[in-house]
Structure 1
């Protein structure tokens, strides 16, 4: 779905990196929070890509190409940030640098590779905007973003990412709660709330 030739050339550099793509298929999306299981990173990324394809076409002034490229790459640094062969944790580079910065650096490196192989330059402004989407996708300094979203595509990736992450957490905690009699889960520290477990279908059934 990406029509921008410079972005396609860059994305192909990532896709053609077989070792990276194998890690991308296996890695969790987190050590503890959303999609924290093998294959979770790929599942989360595909979910956000599908959300982007549904939402962004409603906003013709927003670049779908940039949103899709940013979505594909927003968490790719987690392949090097997390350990997941035996137990989930963080690598040294994950703790010292983090997945956001790792991805931004990789974008620069892959762009140079693409330019060297094809002889086609990738516009510096486009590259900087893609890096910004990645650097700002957590949405605030408090949650680890070194930059705040500065243009529509960046804020779009932040919210689309957050939709999938938060819905996964809410549904997971509903399914995992052991008290089948209560309409509420225990207090969830990661969400700072208890979750109301009754689904609309359940509420309708209770009225019969």
Structure 2
């Protein structure tokens, strides 16, 4: 029996099918009864599910990151579609079709990677071009970059999302940089390439998207600076010359300041024109992508406006 994708589910639809269990929690309601709060996933996206009157055995028999068979019904609650379950059981991997749950688009990743290689190879700055080749000649790095996610939630939160986000930013930098004479466009583009690379070590993109131990303890900004140092060492060994220290400092600053605010995790505020531009371009891409997702997933009957989203403090205009 064919599955219905998460993105194709509608209000009031009966469900009797498999999902990947992206997350699970057991909670207690005001009356003292226990219930399951779950996140179900397939290759198209995720949906929240709940099962009332649950007990510890219901929680323990299902595996986070594993597969489950669910029986229940969809309903709209506060403008969002969710699933109310009446039964849930663990499934073995042999009982599902992996293609129903694989979010990675190999073709899109290959195309994005080809675009990235082309932009790096066409840099005029010999040091940036050589440094880029040091990254791109590392097969272990490439395999992680192809699968990497830009986040656990919010924007580009899927395998391959980091590469898509990186290439999109580089293309925007390539377009905007020449509009501002004081901005070094190639430096800005390379900052876009570097800024989130640490996420390939910060977030595990296989199975359930989750933070690694290194990600929790160190974070992608510090990891990114470490990766830059390793790539510079590889460049110097291959080229048999020193990498310019001033250029290294500029690149390190682009990584450590790209969040734009100390309270948002940047160790330093943007202090160069390239760093200021990178922060705002990065924020623009993240916001447009996440807001687009909110519009596309909205289930209200209003043709013009989405439901009110407390996380952003507003409704969004849906008309195209």
TM-score (normalizing by structure 1): 0.91
Q: Which residue of 2 aligns with 1:147?
A: 268
| More helix per residue | 1
CA offset digits 1:140-167 (Å, max 9, x no partner): 1111111110010011111111111110
How does 1:25-40 map onto structure 2 within 5 Å?
25-40=146-161
Q: 2:298 aligned with 1:177, yes or no?
A: yes
Q: Which residue of 2 aligns with 1:160?
A: 281
Q: Which residue of 2 aligns with 1:105?
A: 226
Match of 1:191 among 285, 307, 312: 312
| Alpha-carbon distance, 1:68 to partner | 1.0
Cα distance in 2 for partners of 1:107, 1:6 equals 13
- The structure-2 alpha-carbon separation of the partners of 1:71 and 1:92, relative to structure 1 and needing over 3 Å to count, comes to same
How does 1:106-125 map onto structure 2 within 5 Å?
106-125=227-246
Between 1 and 2, higher relative CO (CA 8 Å, sep ≥ 6) is seen in 1
Q: Which residue of 2 aligns with 1:206?
A: none
| More strand per residue | 2
Cα distance in 2 for partners of 1:124, 1:115 equals 12
Unaligned runs of 5+ in 1: 200-208
| Alpha-carbon distance, 1:192 to partner | 3.6
| Alpha-carbon distance, 1:182 to partner | 5.2
Match of 1:69 among 176, 190, 200: 190
Q: 2:259 aligned with 1:138, yes or no?
A: yes
| Alpha-carbon distance, 1:189 to partner | 4.3
TM-score (normalizing by structure 2): 0.60
How does 1:3-42 map onto structure 2 within 5 Å?
3-42=124-163
Aligned residue pair count? 199
Q: 2:181 aligned with 1:60, yes or no?
A: yes
Cα distance in 1 for partners of 2:309, 2:167 equals 26
Would you say the 8 A contact 1:2–1:68 is kept in 2? Answer: no
Cα distance in 2 for partners of 1:155, 1:192 equals 26
